[in-house]
Amino acid sequence: MAEKDYYEILGISRDATEDDIKRAYRNLAKKYHPDLHPGDKEAEQRFKEINEAYEVLSNPEKKAQYDRFGSSAFNGQGFNSDDFGGFDFRGFGGNPFNDIFDMFFGEDFMGRRRETGPVRGRDIREELVLTFEEAAFGTEKTFELTRWETCSVCHGTKTKQGSSPQTCPQCGGSGQIRNVRQTPLGSMTTITTCPRCHGEGKIITDPCPECKGTGKVKRTRRVTVKVPAGVDTGHVMTLRGEGEPGEKGGPPGDLFLNITVKPHPIFKRNGFDIYVNLKVSMFKAALGGEVEIPTLDGKIKYNLPEGTQPGDQIRLKGKGVNKLRGYGRGDEIVTIEVTIPKLTEKQKQLLREIENGSIKTEKNEDKSFFKKMKDTFGGL
């Protein structure tokens, strides 16, 4: 029989700790479990090898023997092709892989803890869509939410009024069935969920007619939430206890609101600052003068200096978005776009005269004005 490298099979080094061995086995067993690869003989064989390696390396005595003599020391000692690496799962009830994981780790192969006590309710996630202004200044939003709620008739007891649940006769009210089994590793105890009461420990003989014995009903309610100023797309608001009710007296889950902000037709946002492009004519840019700038608070008048260049920026302090959980606001950054209109022949001639110096400025020494005009408008 070919020599097997159990360390290589689990992908660990020879100085791996017990936790390293357990972690490697757990990850690989999840990956190659036959239930996840129905009909895949290669995955089934890999799964057998993983269990075989773990059985040896997780046992200090067998590990020491393997380190001295290799896998040949175990030939014919419990590894059968009809079993999964020495673990004969055929005697386990329900999902055998879940049971073996529960035996080793107290949970099933998907990593879910077996719950016998109070269980927290399920969380709910919803999308909350805001306008640009609502996100900037904050708002109050009302929306409809459909969720499971505790039955108002039986108050979650699941039974009809005047009746009460009975103790499960199969598990005696524990919700679990305990089995002792002899394995290649010795005597092992497995604990499985009671198939009759499904882990509840009690049986409902006279269910509530409103919730059909589930203890919950689905309802649609209107929920109002205050959205703070400054939120943005990607932010998540948490409403504690607004999720679905818990089980066996457990607390309710939470409601998470994923914020999405609609784009604005002219403003763009970066953090708490906003950006906008302002189009001005070549004449206004050259001569300067009063312009109107849009802001989140409405239009404001601004005195544009003469000789303004395309791409110049104006920063308006405190005209941006309200700072989230802070004081003050961001800024508004205005980028100048110079528009060049179609000119009449008279206008063209006037620009040519300016370009050639035929028209003198009041201050002959100020040649920069004409240079800016030429550079900005491509020689017009």
The binding site consists of: 151, 154, 168, 171, 194, 197, 208, 211
Strand 139-150 relative to strand 268-270, pairing = unpaired
What the block records as the tokens of 52 is 């075989």
DSSP SS3 for 299: coil
Please give the distance of CA 180 from its chain centroid, rounded to a whole number: 42
* CA 210 – CA 212 distance, rounded (Å): 6
* CA 74 – CA 368 distance, rounded (Å): 94
CB atoms within 10 A of CB 75: 8
Contact present, 336 and 314 (Cβ < 8 Å): yes
Segment holding 256, helix H or strand E: strand 255-261
What the block records as the tokens of 282 is 């070549």
Using alpha carbons, select from 316, 290, 286 the residue that is nearest to residue 304: 290
* CA 353 – CA 360 distance, rounded (Å): 9
* CA 380 – CA 360 distance, rounded (Å): 17
Whole-number Cα distances in Å, 110 to 7, 105, 106, 211: 24, 11, 12, 30
Using alpha carbons, select from 222, 28, 129, 15 the residue that is nearest to residue 36: 28
Binding-site annotation: residue ranges for Zn(2+): 151, 154, 168, 171, 194, 197, 208, 211
Residues 6+ apart with CB under 8 A from 30: 36, 109, 110, 111
* CA 38 – CA 58 distance, rounded (Å): 28
CB atoms within 10 A of CB 210: 15
